[in-house]
Amino acid sequence: MQNPAKSKGMFLAIGIFVGMLVAFGIVWLDFGRISEKVIGQVQQVFSADKTMHDTIKIIVEKEVPAVDNTLDDTDVDTMATDSVAVDSLTMLVKKDELLYTKNIKLIALDDKDKAPGIDSAMAKAADVDPSGLPAVYAVEFWKSPINYKGYKLGRNKLVLFGIYQSDDISLVSIGNNLFLKNRDLYFRLEQAEDFCSFNPVTDKNTLAQLNQ
* d(C-alpha 130, C-alpha 142), whole Å: 31
Chain centre distance of CA 188: 40
DSSP β-bridge partners for residue 136: 105
| pLDDT value, residue 131 | 56
- Would the pLDDT of 206 be above 60? yes
Q: What is the pLDDT of residues 94-147, one digit of tens each?
A: 799 999 999 999 999 976 555 444 454 444 443 445 558 999 999 999 999 999
Question: What's the CA gap between 100 and 124, in Å, rounded?
Answer: 35
User: Which pTM value belongs to this model?
Assistant: 0.51
Classify the phi-psi angles of 68: left when phi > 0, otherwise alpha if psi is within -120 to 50, otherwise beta: beta
Rounded CA gap, 178 and 19, in Å? 138
159: pLDDT strictly greater than 70: yes
- Using an 8 Å Cβ cutoff, are 186 and 201 in contact? yes
Per-residue b/e over 156-174, b at no fewer than 16 CB within 10 Å?
eebbbbbbeebeebbbbbb
pLDDT for 178 beyond 80: yes
The Cα–Cα gap between 182 and 167 comes to 9
Q: pLDDT of 41-67, one tens digit each?
A: 646 655 555 444 454 444 444 444 454
Determine contact, residues 181/211, Cβ cutoff 8 Å: no
